[in-house]
Amino acid sequence: MVVERDQDIPSSRVPIIDLSNPDQELVARAVVKASEEWGVFQLINHGITTELIQRLQDVGRRFFELSEAEKKDVAKLDDSREGYARRYTLDLEKRIGTVDQLFHNVWPPSAVNYSYWPKNPQDYREVNEEYTRQVKMLSEKIMEWLSEGLGLRREAINEVVGGEYLLNVNYYPPCPHPDVIEGLDAHTDISGLTLLLTNEIPGLQVFKDDQWIDVEYIPFAVIVNISDQILRISNGKYKSVLHKTTVDKEKTRMSWAVLVRPTNDMVVGPFTELIGDDPPKFKSMVYKDYIYRKVRNLPFVDLDS
């Protein structure tokens, strides 16, 4: 059954979509609608087995519980995007954000550098490779539905934003002062789309209709965030959801984000098919230039501003 709790009554609940519904057109419509209205939804019965998710979370947690010295084996170097590092941020209200992060490419094979993949636990690689295969199938399905939702060929979005998959594991240690300490400050993801798993500690919030809404924890659900590049190619039809994370007073929160992204040199802008009647809202940009500007907070030229 597709649960669309936001349909009739205004709701503060992120849409939950059941992929096992035999009526796949209904599922596709729910994905499109959630992407237009929220830019985020939760998928249940998505086909990735609970056993694999448990193994993924187990090897990730065991890596982060190693000593700092052992984790430094895969430390991020200054000019690398991949590796293990602790991140600090300061937001406008002077809240400090802190999170330990591990980044490494998982797809395609030519982009994978195993020197950034933990060797300990031993089965880290095997489990992450299997998860990559499965999450990639899921993301391609979502991109097909989103392409059709724009009236385009089903491969259209994948051809632009599906070139690379980067895994980002987040580890948020507990903190007794969650009023002044947060996890990740408010942001939209740079990627095309993000598929997220979390452990059982809630903490993700999304911004909708001028308020922050808690994303409820549903065991083994995959949270899908529409990110900047799908906002741009859809000429604003699909939302790039603003989100942030809090930290727990007592327990460690973890999350696994797979960022589905264009290759560095891909030019990303609104599909020409979409800008017949509607003027383009975004300027086409090479993806690596977009990243450069976004991480430095440089302004973008949005064509409607």
Three-class SS state of 69: helix
Note the Cα 97 to chain centre separation in Å: 18
**CB nearest Ni ion: which residue?**
189
Cα-based angle 235, 238, 239 (whole degrees, multiple of 5) = 110
- What are the structure tokens assigned to 203, written together? 């903490």
Binding letters toward ligand OGA, positions 199-238, x by CB under 6 A? -----x----------------------------------
245 binds, among Ni ion, ligand OGA, none (CB under 5 to 8 A by kind): ligand OGA
- Does 255 bind ligand OGA (CB under 6 A)? Our answer is yes
Give CA–CA dist 190/153, Å, rounded.
Answer: 24
CB-nearer residue toward ligand OGA: 156 or 258: 258
Size of the site for ligand OGA (CB under 6 A): 11
Q: Which of 59, 167, 195, 257 binds ligand OGA (CB under 6 A)?
A: 257
- How far apart (Å, rounded) are the C-alpha atoms in residues 201 and 15? 20
- Is residue 46 near ligand OGA by the rule CB under 6 A? no
Q: Which is nearer to ligand OGA, 159 or 185 (CB)?
A: 185
At closest approach, how far in Å is the CB of 223 from ligand OGA?
8
Which residue of the chain is nearest ligand OGA when measured via CB?
255
Residue pair 233/158 in contact by the 8 Å Cβ criterion? no
Question: Which pair of tokens denotes residue 109?
Answer: 């094979």
Instruction: State the nearest-atom distance from the C-beta of 173 to Ni ion, in Å.
Output: 19
Q: Is position 184 an interface residue for ligand OGA (rule: CB under 6 A)?
A: yes
Name the β-bridge partners of 255: 170, 198
C-alpha 198: how far from chain center? 11
Residue type, 180: V
The residue ranges that bind ligand OGA (CB under 6 A) are: 168, 170, 184, 189, 196, 198, 204, 243, 245, 255, 257
